[in-house]
Amino acid sequence: MKYHMLIALFFVLIFASAVHADVRTAINSVDPQPVEPGNDLTLKIGYTNFGATQVRMSSAIDLSYPFSLKSSTESFENGFDVCGFCSRTNNYFISVDPSAKSGTYPIYIRLSGTDGSEVKTINVSVRGTPNLILVSEPIANITPAQKFDMNLELQNIGTGLAREVKVTTKSSDFIALGATIQTTEKVDPHDSSFLYFAMSPGQNLDAGSYNLPFEISYKDEQGNSYTITQNIGVRVVNDGLLNIESIKVASPTGGQTIAGQPITVVIRLQNIGHGDANSIESQIVCDGQTSKAFLGQLKKNEDSPAVFDMTIQNGGKHTCTLTTKYSDDTGTKTMTNSFDINLKNPDFPVLPIIIVIIIAAIYYFKVYRKKK
């Protein structure tokens, strides 16, 4: 503040010169100083006649980028009068372009009077203030222990340069699988930088919505430090995951599994996921034969048998296909597994054949003896 007061005093001193012997022109104020891009600046110029005679003179303001004149309290371009021992003041209301870069820019005051003309220069300091925010696409349907990519856009919505930028993940519920800190050298006003974090929810994290805190630290062009914290929302869901615990093939009568006779296939399914598995429906296909079973719901760590009854006509080894459909928080899923079963061929009917042979033999001998 003292520095800017000295600058203002300096302006007053250097403007205490005249285009007329009795008139002094001075900058009364430049407010604010420095000024931010997108804001307005007020420039007050005073004219004092120290003589007894009225004086006529003119004064015009000359502006270039990033300044533009909005209005003024007086129009002195075409000339104005200052009576003896009088003062007049003109206030200029100036806007600063929002996209202006920080720096020092000149404003010129062109004066003319009876003793000639001159140009006065006012150096105005434009200083922007950086303002960083994080922007992310919606992150949903993340399951515990699942790796996901968090792509962040770091936007500078402020008016000043941000430099030495550092973004740090501060979440205790989500694990950074790589670096926990991302840096960028600078982010210009109205510009962006893209950052990437590989993340994973904790193994035992419950389903729900979570805020991941990120700490953003940076400096402005004057070296002032800023530290803010911003949250990014993430939705965690629980997924069901079915696994075959065991497969058993048996005969309903308790004997051997024989081709052409009914068999029962019992497949025990277990939910080893983090959430419920709902609307479970299984189907097996063996040697063209199909059977279905409906289990309903299995909660986490629960198991239940799926029972299939069928009759396969051919003996030997058969490859069966199990298809299981179910739903969880992430949607509908299908699981396919293959397994083999072996069926024994029916025993050869020896006794009936022997009986047939004996009957045939008796018949033959009877017929043959009658012919004799």
Token pair for 210: 């979570």
How far is CA 96 from each of CA 31, 67, 150, 314, rounded to the nearest angstrom? 12, 5, 37, 90
Average pLDDT over residues 336-360: 77
263 shares a domain with 166: no
- Domain span at residue 300? 242-343
Does one domain contain both 174 and 200?
Answer: yes
Q: What gap in Å lies between CA 212 and CA 148, rounded to an integer?
A: 13
Helices and strands, number each (H, E), in the chain: 2, 25
- CA–CA gap between residue 352 and residue 254 (Å, rounded): 25
Tokens 């992150």 found at: 139
On whether the CB atoms of residues 45 and 31 are closer than 8 A, the answer is: no
In a domain, 368, yes or no: no
pLDDT band at 371 (very low <50, low <70, confident <90, very high): low
Query: Residue 369 corresponds to which amino acid?
Result: R
Residue-wise pLDDT for 162-216, tens only, equals: 999 999 999 989 999 989 999 999 999 889 999 999 999 988 888 889 999 999 9
Whether residue 250 sits in one domain with residue 155: no
Final residue belonging to a domain, choices 205, 236, 267:
236
Residue 72: is its pLDDT beyond 60?
Answer: yes
Are 143 and 189 members of one domain? Answer: yes
Q: Are 207 and 273 contained in the same domain?
A: no
313 token code pair:
């006509």
Residues 6+ apart with CB under 8 A from 320: 265, 284, 285, 286, 338, 339, 340, 341
Residue 269 lies in a domain: yes
Give φ, ψ of 194 to 5 degrees. Answer: -105, 135
What is the predicted pLDDT for the residue at 141?
85
Q: What is the pLDDT of residue 135?
A: 95
Per the CB < 8 A criterion, the answer to whether 176 and 198 are in contact is yes
Same domain, 89 and 122: yes
In a domain, 353, yes or no: no
pLDDT digits (tens, 9 = 90+) for 253-283: 887 888 888 999 999 999 998 889 999 999 9
**Residue 233 to residues 68, 135, 136, 177, 285, Cα–Cα distance (Å):** 42, 11, 9, 18, 45
Verify that 147 and 199 share a domain, yes or no.
yes
Count of domains for the chain: 3
Model confidence pLDDT, tens digit, residues 291-337: 999 999 999 999 999 999 999 988 889 999 999 999 998 889 999 99
Same domain as 97, residue 23? yes
Give residue-wise pLDDT tens across range 27-43: 999 999 999 999 999 99
The last residue of a domain, from among 175, 208, 236: 236
148, part of any domain: yes
- Asked if pLDDT for residue 6 goes beyond 60, the answer is no
Task: Name residue, tokens 């430099």.
Answer: 163
Average pLDDT on 66-72 reads 96
- The answer to whether residue 302 sits within a structural domain is yes
CA distance 166 to 100: 25
Q: For residue 270, give both structure tokens.
A: 């277990």
pLDDT confidence bin for 94, thresholds 50/70/90: very high
Task: Tell me the three state secondary structure of residue 125.
Answer: strand
pTM of this prediction? 0.66
* 156, pLDDT greater than 90: yes
29 plus 119 within the same structural domain = yes
56, 155: one domain = no
Tell me, yes or no, whether 222 and 297 share the same domain: no
One domain for residues 224 and 172: yes
Asked, for residue 185, whether it belongs to a domain, the answer is yes
Give me the count of residues in the chain. Answer: 372
Does residue 324 fall inside a structural domain? Answer: yes
Q: Does residue 91 belong to any structural domain of this protein?
A: yes
Looking at 194, 219, 236, the residue that finishes a domain is 236
Domain harbouring 81, CATH code: 2.60.40.10
Find residue 324's DSSP bridge partners.
282, 335
Question: Beta 225-236 vs 139-142: how paired, if at all?
Answer: parallel
